[in-house]
Amino acid sequence: MSPAVAERPTPLQSAIMQESNARKRCLPRLCEKVDVDSSRGSVWQSFLVLFMVVAAVAGTLPVTTAFLSSPRQSFHRIRFLKPVQAVTESPLDSTAVNASKAPRAAADGAKKPSTQKATAQAIDIETYETNLKIAQLAEQCAKRKNVTAAIHATSLLRSMSHPDTVAYNSVIKCLAKLSPANINGSQTASNLCLVMLEEMKDIHEKQRKANLDWYDRMGADQLSEKELSAGSPRVRVKPNVRTYATVMDALARTAKIESAELAEDLMQELHDEYYETNDWAMQPNLVTYNTLLTAWAKVAGGEAAHHCLRILEVMPMTPDTISFNTVLHAVARSGWLDCGERAEGLLRSMKDEGVAANARSYTTCIDAWGQNQPGNPQRAELLLQEIEALYEETGDPQLQPNCVSYSTVINAYATSKELDKAMQAHAVFQRMRQKGIEPNPFTYNNLLNSFATSKAHPELIDMVEKVYRQMLREHLSDQVTFGIVLKACSNLFWKDVEFAPSVFREACDRGQVSSGVLWQLRQAVPAESFRELVGADQVAWGELPHKWTRNVRDDRTTRRNKRR
């Protein structure tokens, strides 16, 4: 039996065999290229070889063999290839990824006419330039509380043909910096921020639906040539985490419990949106949590402090120094009988959390001990000595006690029932001056108050008069100063009957006669002297000459008297 003769391959089989052999020959040669010039560009060459292997396996032999001639030449060829245009129709919305699902034929539709490109570029330029103007106005609002700048920024936003998220966020920032002021006498700045947020949500939902509808119609081959040329509608407006944080900041500045509750609702809404969409632009961050803490801390009271402590516990990230300082402030203003002990416990826990305490942390805890019932100024001073020692040991400027630190300890003594509080407060004041720290009006007023609320002593009268004269010389006196000095005249049984009237006349000359000064004058001088100084036996603060009250700060008591 004769041996079998192999059949000759058909032309098609020959072509397939040649293609397969060519691929097999490519792979060893590709592996040899890995070690070429390993001292330079090894990472790029490895990437290049991997690219060629994939190309060979995929069947793109002409491309592969073209790279085999010169690896370095091929590297430069790849580097300067024109990058493929990515889908950038909606940088703020994930719906643009639907373009990858559309048929290739529809994606390769007609190119946009040059006039449409020019129009799109003009829109982008106009939006960019307007955003710069609004950002400048936002900085003005932050520095000078400029209501006119906020109104102008809002007008620029309304004049934009295609506003975007940046424009809305800048205008909301303008309004937030003015909170709790009224804008145009009708709405508060915080309410306008909430209105802007709702407006952004509505616009985003409309733009998102239009974007999705365009891609659905493109997939169904229902778009006209004009619609294809124009491209998908862009999603330009979408609230993000910065939007929510700024609106929460506007609410926090009102220092109202209703605003704090609204801020917490916004935080919950932000959380829900993030976990539903997994959109990183909506992920709550440390800034949003600290803003929420501030909203509650400014309300003051026990309920607000409880909210702050709860938020601190549930934060998904490690709190920072600002977080702890805000909660410390809330505890100091809680009104709890043991607020000093709780605040110091929180201060000690910062070290366990790996968070560095600073001078403000200690000062706020000192203030809490001053608010404690009963007050504990000795514990407050021990904390001051602790931070003094830490600063001397480390030289860390963040731990350097400042004027507020010493003033807070002096105030803790002034509001306490210690018998020698005047001398203790004066000793802290002297130590402060020895360290080169200059006192401010609050320091002097706290020191005067420690004198005025102490038991009568001849030495205290001289100390009150000395501090009072020094404040006048340094132009540091205010309405609080005059009220405290008149209180000292009443409590310390001042022998000089002309001193109290002279203090009141000085307050009149400086325009610092507040309702508190008027009340303290009534306690410090006889009825005849009061009638002679004021002009009547009974007089309301609002009936006093404007010259006497022109520089009075608009405090709560003054506002109440104005309404009368």
Q: Where are the domains of the chain?
A: 11-74, 122-239, 301-451, 455-564
On whether the CB atoms of residues 344 and 383 are closer than 8 A, the answer is yes
Angle at 239 between CA 234 and CA 244, to 5 degrees: 170
> What is the C-alpha separation between 421 and 429, in angstroms, rounded?
12
User: What token pair was written down for 539?
Assistant: 């007089």
> What is the C-alpha separation between 227 and 112, in angstroms, rounded?
10
Q: Which residues, in sequence order, are CB contacts of 351 under 8 Å at separation 6+?
A: 357
**What confidence score (pLDDT) does residue 21 get?**
54
Distances 533 to 346, 528, 541, 549 between C-alpha atoms, Å: 51, 9, 14, 15
**What confidence score (pLDDT) does residue 298 get?**
96
User: What token pair was written down for 556?
Assistant: 């709560």
Q: What is the pLDDT of residues 358-388, one digit of tens each?
A: 999 999 999 999 998 777 899 999 999 999 9
> What is the C-alpha separation between 259 and 250, in angstroms, rounded?
9
Torsion of CA 523, 527, 530, 536, to 10 degrees: 130
Residue 204 has what DSSP assignment?
A: H
Closest CA relative to residue 517, chosen from 561, 476, 487: 487
Closest CA relative to residue 512, chosen from 474, 476, 564, 470: 476
**What confidence score (pLDDT) does residue 175 get?**
94
* pLDDT < 50 regions, the chain: 1-7, 11-12, 15-16, 19-20, 22-112, 556-564
Distances 49 to 31, 78, 80, 126, 483 between C-alpha atoms, Å: 8, 12, 18, 46, 85
83 backbone φψ class: left, alpha, beta (φ>0; ψ -120 to 50): beta
**What confidence score (pLDDT) does residue 103 get?**
42
Largest CA distance in the chain: 151
- To the nearest 10 degrees (0 to 180), the angle between helices 42-58 and 61-68 is 150
Q: What is the pLDDT of residues 78-93, one digit of tens each?
A: 222 223 233 333 333 4
User: What token pair was written down for 192?
Assistant: 């306008």
> What is the C-alpha separation between 33 and 384, in angstroms, rounded?
70
**What confidence score (pLDDT) does residue 197 get?**
97
- Look at the domain 301-451 and name its fold: 1.25.40
- Provide the b/e sequence for 494-526 (b: ≥16 CB within 10 Å): beeeebbbebbebbbebebbbbbbbebbbebbe
- Provide the b/e sequence for 63-100 (b: ≥16 CB within 10 Å): ebbebeeebeebbeeeeeeeeeeeeebbebbebbebbe
Name beta bridge partners: 188: 182
On whether the CB atoms of residues 208 and 97 are closer than 8 A, the answer is no
> What is the C-alpha separation between 130 and 288, in angstroms, rounded?
27
**What confidence score (pLDDT) does residue 120 get?**
79
Torsion of CA 29, 34, 35, 40, to 10 degrees: 140
3-state secondary structure 90-155: CCCCHHHHHHHHCCHHHHCCCCCCHHHHHHHHHHHHHHHHHHHHHHHHHHHHHHHCCHHHHHHHHH
On whether the CB atoms of residues 167 and 173 are closer than 8 A, the answer is no
Distances 413 to 218, 378, 431, 437 between C-alpha atoms, Å: 76, 8, 15, 19
Taking the CA of residue 287 as centre, how many other CA atoms within 13 Å lie in the half-sphere pointing to its CB? 11
On whether the CB atoms of residues 256 and 304 are closer than 8 A, the answer is no
> What is the C-alpha separation between 390 and 384, in angstroms, rounded?
10
User: What token pair was written down for 481?
Assistant: 């100063």
> What is the C-alpha separation between 396 and 308, in angstroms, rounded?
28
**What 3-state DSSP class applies to 36?**
coil
> What is the C-alpha separation between 393 and 398, in angstroms, rounded?
13
**What confidence score (pLDDT) does residue 117 get?**
67
Helix intervals (H) in 220-285: 225-230, 241-252, 257-277
> What is the C-alpha separation between 318 and 295, in angstroms, rounded?
19
The sign one gets for the Cα dihedral 291, 296, 299, 300 is negative
Angle at 421 between CA 416 and CA 423, to 5 degrees: 165
Name beta bridge partners: 187: 183
Q: Which residues, in sequence order, are CB contacts of 231 under 8 Å at separation 6+?
A: 89, 112
pTM, to two decimals: 0.75
Taking the CA of residue 175 as centre, how many other CA atoms within 13 Å lie in the half-sphere pointing to its CB? 32
